[in-house]
């Protein structure tokens, strides 16, 4: 069986999720190299996953002609340079989201992959989650008639780190948690967004308000799609109750509800009229199978010569919408997406 030989670039929190997928769950791939400039991270990664090659510099890894594809999971600011160098070295590329720091960088990455004839897939793993996929299949089946409106929410439990309070660089929750929702709604709507309005406010960290007056931990976004569908997105950080990612699709003949806030299908009801069930703890648990499916899809598209299910264009558009959302929050006005492309 032909196998794609993979190098992981960036062995941190998300990188190791990909490493575990490629090391055990992707039959048509073999993880042969790990790369990370921080030797301690590299050591820990190699302790867990045995590979023949390790690198502290991605440029050295790219010289290895055995490597067919790279999985780029470094901090976002490095994605652009690494992806372009990988494409120029003839390696297929999987790049985590956010794809880059600006739509212009995304264009350059897309062009480099096109010019060098390599695949580029971006890490929106919800598209490979069985529940989110079922939602899309049901929309396409026409069972709820014409889609009228879409709702998607992501609420994350983690306490914000200091760098997240500066929303001009971190984007705040609209970038940190909602970039996946933007991608999901574009996918479900089958259309680009025409305009959006977003509002945000800091409720949970009032002690940071003086130093970071623009910080918000909660936001709501209303979107109008080019095909007339209306969407809303709810975003929040530091919600404490768990990781909560769900979507709803309202049609002329019915409704589809995707996902649940609970970690399993067991719910306990007790005598004080209380229902008790465990919350999902983290995106790592909720989307564990989706990460494996995403890796399999990447390898399959290389082997079969097909277009990836999540393209560089999808990565660019999600970034553009996050930028538009932050602009709307800061300027307190609706934003036309055409303004962002100028
Ligand atoms: N799909 C998702 O839901 C999801 C979830 C988490 C993170 N991410 C994305 O994955 C990326 C990494 O996030 P993380 O949370 O794993 O960060 P992290 O800080 O835990 O890990 C980043 C790793 O990259 C390494 N690194 C830094 N510069 C490098 C370079 N030049 N070459 C190779 N390695 C380098 C670091 O040493 C570190 O080990 C980010 O773009 C993030 O937004 C996506």
Task: State the sign of the Cα–Cα–Cα–Cα dihedral 182, 188, 194, 196.
Answer: negative
Would you place residue 273 in the very low, low, confident or very high pLDDT band (cuts 50, 70, 90)?
confident
The model carries a pTM of 0.94
pLDDT value of residue 6: 98
- Distance between CA atoms of 101 and 80, rounded to whole angstroms? 8
Is residue 28 pLDDT above 90, yes or no? yes
Tell me the three-class secondary structure of 273-298, residue by residue.
CEEECCECCCHHHHCHHHHHHHHHHH
Query: Which stretch of 168-177, 215-224, 299-308 has the lowest confidence by average pLDDT?
Result: 168-177
Q: What is the pLDDT of residue 2?
A: 86
Closest ligand 1 atom, residue 123 Cα: 1
* Fold (topology level) of 129-285+318-340: Dihydrodipicolinate Reductase; domain 2 (3.30.360)
In this structure, of 84-93, 203-212, 270-279, the range with the lowest mean pLDDT score is: 270-279
Q: Decide if pLDDT at 96 tops 90.
A: yes
Query: CB neighbours (10 Å) of residue 150?
Result: 26
The pLDDT value given to residue 186: 98
Q: How far is the CA of 292 from the centre of ligand 1 (A)?
A: 18
- Where residue 278 falls among pLDDT bands split at 50, 70, 90? confident
157: which 2 tokens? 């439990």
Which of 8, 15, 41 gets mutated to test ligand 1 (max ligand atoms within 8 A of its CB)? 15
Which pLDDT band, with edges at 50, 70 and 90, does 176 fall under? Answer: confident
CA distance 130 to 112: 32
pLDDT tens, 125-161? 999 999 999 999 999 999 999 999 999 999 999 999 8
For residue 195, how far is its CA from the centre of ligand 1 (angstroms)? 31
Average pLDDT score over the chain: 95
Summarize the confidence of residues 31-52 as an average pLDDT: 96
- Residues 300-323 have a mean pLDDT of 97
CB atoms within 10 A of CB 23: 18
Residue 97 has pLDDT above 90, yes or no: yes
Two structure tokens written together for 32: 């042969």
Domain residue ranges in the chain? 4-118, 129-285+318-340
- Ligand 1: residues with CB < 6 A are 9-15, 35-38, 41, 58, 73-76, 78, 96-98, 123, 125, 283
Report residue 281 as tokens. 């703890």
Answer whether 156's CB lies under 8 Å from 177's CB: yes
Q: How confident is the model at residue 304 (pLDDT cuts 50, 70, 90)?
A: very high
**For the ranges 74-78, 133-137, 167-171, 259-263, which has the lowest average pLDDT?**
259-263
Instruction: Calculate how far, in angstroms, residue 330's C-alpha sits from the geometric centre of ligand 1.
Output: 27
Distance of alpha carbon 195 from alpha carbon 321, whole angstroms: 9
Confidence label for 264 from pLDDT (cuts 50, 70 and 90): confident
Question: By mean pLDDT, which of 134-138, 167-171, 290-294 is the weakest?
Answer: 167-171
DSSP string computed for 42-104: HHHHHHHS--SEEESSHHHHTT-TT--EEEE-S-GGGHHHHHHHHHHTT-EEEEPSS--SSHH
Q: Determine the topology of domain 4-118 in CATH.
A: Rossmann fold (3.40.50)
> What sign for the dihedral angle of Cα 162, 168, 173, 179?
negative
Helix, strand, or coil here: 134? helix
Q: Which residues pair with 33 in a beta bridge?
A: 7, 53
Q: Which whole number is the average pLDDT over 81-88?
A: 98
Same fold, 4-118 and 129-285+318-340: no
What CA–CA distance (Å, rounded) separates 259 from 156?
15
Residue nearest to atom 32 of ligand 1 (CA): 36
Instruction: Indicate the pLDDT class of residue 342, thresholds 50, 70 and 90.
Output: low
pLDDT exceeds cutoff 70 at 235: yes
Measuring CA to CA, which residue among 119, 126, 13 is closest to residue 70? 119
Mean pLDDT is lowest, of 29-43, 167-181, 255-269, for 255-269
């Amino acid at each position: 069986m032909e196998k794609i030989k993979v190098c992981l670039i960036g062995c941190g929190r998300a990188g190791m999720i990909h490493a575990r997928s490629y090391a055990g769950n992707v039959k048509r791939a073999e993880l042969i190299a790990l790369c990370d400039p921080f030797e301690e991270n590299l050591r820990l990664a190699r302790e867990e996953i045995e590979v023949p090659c390790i690198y502290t510099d991605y440029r050295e890894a790219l010289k290895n002609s055995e490597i067919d594809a790279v999985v780029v999971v470094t901090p976002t600011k490095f994605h652009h340079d690494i992806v372009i160098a990988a494409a120029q070295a003839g390696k297929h590329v999987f790049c985590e989201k956010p794809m880059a720091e600006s739509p212009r960088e995304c264009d350059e990455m897309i062009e480099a992959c096109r010019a060098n004839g390599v695949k580029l897939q971006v890490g929106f793993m919800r598209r490979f989650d069985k529940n989110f996929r079922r939602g899309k299949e049901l929309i396409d089946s026409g069972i709820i008639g014409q889609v009228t409106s879409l709702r998607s929410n992501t609420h994350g439990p983690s306490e914000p780190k200091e760098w997240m309070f500066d929303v001009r660089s971190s984007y705040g929750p609209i970038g940190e948690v909602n970039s996946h929702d933007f991608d999901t709604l574009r996918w479900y709507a089958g259309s680009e967004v025409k305009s959006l309005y977003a509002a945000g406010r800091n409720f949970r960290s009032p002690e940071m308000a003086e130093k970071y007056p623009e910080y918000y931990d909660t936001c709501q976004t209303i979107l109008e799609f080019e095909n007339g569908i209306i969407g809303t997105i709810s975003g929040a950080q530091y919600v404490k109750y768990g990781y909560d990612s769900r979507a709803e699709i309202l049609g002329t003949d019915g409704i589809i509800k995707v996902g649940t806030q609970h970690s399993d299908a067991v719910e306990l009801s007790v005598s004080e009229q209380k229902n008790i069930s465990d919350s999902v703890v983290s995106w790592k648990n909720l989307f564990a199978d989706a990460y494996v499916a995403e890796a399999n899809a990447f390898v399959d598209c290389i082997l079969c010569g097909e277009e990836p299910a999540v393209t560089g264009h999808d990565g660019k558009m999600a970034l553009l919408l996050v930028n538009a959302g932050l602009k709307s929050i800061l300027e307190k006005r609706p934003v036309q997406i055409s303004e962002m492309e100028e």
